[in-house]
């Protein structure tokens, strides 16, 4: 990572977002794979909790730097999320908010598919925004539009 | 993210195995002789899934743990005392297969298969957009 070039503005935030969505994608894919496995309880990490941690980290960066949005962000680890240098490790919890079927699986295919679609869109949006930032940099370096 | 494709694939394999078992049940719903030609009605079979993918040594994913036989009693149809396969009351045992149940299970397996295809497509779209960052 080049100091002051790749860790300014929204890039570190977008990086964390893409890391989180790609890890969560794995959980959701596993839930879909086990949709007819008896006794399997789907697992997930609430994206709202991740967003709260991320927002707190952005706030913290703003406060320590006084209005200049430079430097990497340092989200605090929670029970379900551990932030390492290059990824977010997820320790998912079982979701117990659906009807428990007789085979011991409380699947809800519709809500899992919705989560999957949402997560994919969030990931692609994050990647697209990183791409835009890179294009801006490219333009500045080449001095042409 | 490449691990996600393995997970979806393991589920596709498992669901297709289940469909194979269902197809075999439907094909044999009137079979009363075994391969050696002895009178032995076909028993309904079903696939049992378990979480995890031992083929890849992966905690995530799904695999077929066992293909078990249904212990439910055979159905009995009246064929008359004259039939060589009938018991003393004129009844004969035929496979314990209900085609409606099999069709519903087949539909469920197909839908689960499609859901996994969708998940794999989502994985591919995510990988594509991430790889496009490089180009």
> What is the 3-state secondary structure of chain A?
CCCCCCCECCHHHHHHHHHHHHHHHHHHHHHHHCCCCCCCCCEECCHHHHHHHHHHHHHHHHHHHCCCCECCCCCCCCCCEEECCCCEEECCEECCCCCCCCCCCCCCHHHHHHHHHHHHHHHHHHHHHHHHHHHHHHHHHHCCC
Model ipTM? Answer: 0.80
- Set of chain B residues whose Cβ sits within 8 Å of the Cβ of A131: 132-133
pLDDT tens for B3-28 read: 899 999 999 999 999 999 999 999 99
Cα–Cα distance for residue pair B57/A133, rounded to 1 Å: 39
* Beta carbons of A36 and B3 less than 8 Å apart: no
Residue B135's pLDDT band, with cuts at 50, 70 and 90, is: low
Confirm or reject contact between A120 and chain B (CB < 8 A): yes
Query: B51 CA to chain A: closest CA distance, Å?
Result: 7
Walk along chain A (145 residues) and give the pLDDT tens digit of each residue. Answer: 677 777 788 889 999 999 999 999 999 999 999 999 998 989 999 999 999 999 999 999 888 887 677 778 889 999 899 999 888 999 888 877 777 888 888 888 888 999 999 999 999 999 999 999 888 888 989 988 7
* Both structure tokens of B87: 């018991």
Its sign, for the CA torsion B39, B18, A39, A100, is: negative
Contacts of B130 in chain A (CB under 8 A): 18, 22, 123, 127
Q: Which helix (H) or strand (E) holds B37?
A: none
Residue B126 has its nearest CB partner, among A37, A113, A120, at A120
In the block, residue with structure tokens 């791409």: A131
* CB-count exposure of residue B100 (10 Å: 0-12, 13-18, 19+): exposed
Inter-chain touch B129–A26, beta carbons under 8 Å: no
Which residues does B92 contact at the CB level (< 8 Å), separation at least 6?
A: B32, B76, B77, B78, B79, B83, B85, B86
DSSP state of B133: T
Q: What is the pTM of this model?
A: 0.84
- Output DSSP code: residue B126: H
- Give residues 16 to 75 of A whose Cβ lies within 8 Å of B: 18, 21-22, 25-26, 28-30, 32-40
Chain B positions touching A117 (Cβ under 8 A) are 122
């Amino acid at each position: 990572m080049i100091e002051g070039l790749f860790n300014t503005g929204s890039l570190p935030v977008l990086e964390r977002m893409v890391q989180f969505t790609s890890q969560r994608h794995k959980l959701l894919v596993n839930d879909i794979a086990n949709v007819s496995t008896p006794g399997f309880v789907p697992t997930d990490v609430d994206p709202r909790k991740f967003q709260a941690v991320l927002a707190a980290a952005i706030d913290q960066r703003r406060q320590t730097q006084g209005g200049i949005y430079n430097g990497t962000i340092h989200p605090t680890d929670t029970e379900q999320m551990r932030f390492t240098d290059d990824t977010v490790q997820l320790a998912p919890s079982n979701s117990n908010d659906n009807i428990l079927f007789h085979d011991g699986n409380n699947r809800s295919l519709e809500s899992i598919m919705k989560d999957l679609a949402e997560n994919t869109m969030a990931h692609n949006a994050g990647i697209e925004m990183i791409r835009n930032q890179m294009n801006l940099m490219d333009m500045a370096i080449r001095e042409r539009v | 993210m490449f691990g996600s494709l393995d997970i979806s694939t393991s589920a596709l394999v498992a669901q297709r195995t289940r469909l194979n078992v269902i197809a075999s049940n439907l094909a044999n719903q009137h079979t009363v002789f075994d391969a050696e030609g002895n009178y032995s009605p076909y028993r309904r079979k079903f696939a049992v899934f378990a979480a995890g993918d031992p083929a890849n040594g992966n905690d995530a994913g799904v695999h077929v743990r066992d293909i078990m036989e249904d212990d439910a009693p055979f159905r009995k149809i009246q064929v008359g005392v004259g039939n060589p396969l009938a018991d003393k009351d004129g009844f004969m045992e035929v496979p314990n297969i209900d085609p409606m149940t099999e069709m519903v299970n087949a539909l469920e397996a197909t839908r689960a298969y499609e859901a996994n295809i969708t998940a794999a497509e989502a994985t591919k779209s995510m990988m594509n957009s991430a790889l496009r960052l490089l180009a």
